[in-house]
């Protein structure tokens, strides 16, 4: 099994649509319907490619996108960003999300020069908490009713990782096909 991280492409539209089909809660989390390849292509174009404030990678197994990891809201004044991740239902429980999250954190600190990464997960999603903890993100607190999916609101546990925190002993995933990062 060959596992890599690489930028999203419109060629991944079928894989994204299949992931949402396999994990309907993912469509709710993404905030819009992406069940068809055309809708997925549009979503990839608008949100996952060529966005100055976002670094997004597809988690690939044997070349097929089966998940996502990203840094968004990259803020240079404080050298911080928001991390997010998901893996399709059939690929969960293989540590892909925690490995991808640890990898993008290393990329954020070592290549992008960031200092603080934050993330949040619904408190009713203990699997996401395990991913964050395995990738070295410490829990910092609960934000009440922060997320809204449809008409439902969810409390969120916030986690953070600093560049000065100990690195977790987790196998990182190679990042491929990435253009060099311009100097700050």
The model's pLDDT over 138-161, given as tens digits with 9 standing for 90+, comes to: 999 999 999 888 788 999 999 999
pLDDT attached to residue 72: 94
Q: Which residues does 18 contact at the CB level (< 8 Å), separation at least 6?
A: 88
Radius of gyration for the alpha carbons in the chain, expressed in angstroms and rounded: 16
What is the distance between the alpha carbons of residues 116 and 80, in angstroms, rounded to a whole number? Answer: 5
What is the distance between the alpha carbons of residues 81 and 116, in angstroms, rounded to a whole number? Answer: 7
Counts of helices then strands in the chain (DSSP H, E): 5, 7
The predicted-structure confidence for 78-124, as pLDDT tens digits, reads as follows 999 999 999 998 878 789 999 999 999 999 999 999 999 999 999 99
pLDDT band at 27 (very low <50, low <70, confident <90, very high): confident
Do residues 82 and 71 touch, judged by C-beta distance below 8 A? yes
Q: What is the mean pLDDT of the chain?
A: 91
**pTM for this structure?**
0.91
Please say whether the dihedral angle defined by the alpha carbons of residues 41, 84, 57 and 184, taken in this order, is positive or negative: positive
Instruction: Report which of 99, 40, 107, 43 is spatially closest to residue 74, judged by C-alpha positions.
Output: 107
What is the distance between the alpha carbons of residues 86 and 131, in angstroms, rounded to a whole number? Answer: 10
What is the distance between the alpha carbons of residues 151 and 167, in angstroms, rounded to a whole number? Answer: 38
pLDDT band at 1 (very low <50, low <70, confident <90, very high): confident
Q: Which residues does 24 contact at the CB level (< 8 Å), separation at least 6?
A: none
């Amino acid at each position: 099994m060959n596992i890599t991280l690489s930028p999203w492409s419109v060629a991944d539209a079928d894989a994204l649509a299949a992931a949402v089909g396999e994990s309907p809660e993912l469509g709710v989390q993404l905030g819009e319907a992406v069940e068809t390849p055309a809708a997925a292509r549009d979503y990839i174009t608008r949100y996952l490619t060529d966005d100055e404030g976002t670094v997004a990678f597809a988690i690939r197994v044997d070349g097929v996108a089966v998940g996502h990891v990203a840094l968004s809201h990259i803020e240079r004044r404080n050298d911080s960003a928001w991390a997010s991740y998901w893996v399709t239902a059939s690929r969960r429980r293989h540590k892909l999300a925690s490995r991808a999250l640890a990898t993008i954190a290393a990329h954020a600190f070592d290549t992008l020069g960031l200092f603080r990464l934050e993330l949040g997960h619904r408190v009713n999603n203990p699997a996401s908490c395990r991913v964050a903890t395995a990738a070295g993100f410490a829990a910092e607190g609960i934000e009440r009713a922060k997320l809204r999916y449809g008409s439902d609101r969810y409390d969120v546990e916030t986690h953070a990782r600093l560049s000065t925190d100990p690195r977790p002993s987790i196998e990182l995933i190679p990042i491929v096909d990435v253009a060099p990062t311009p100097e700050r």
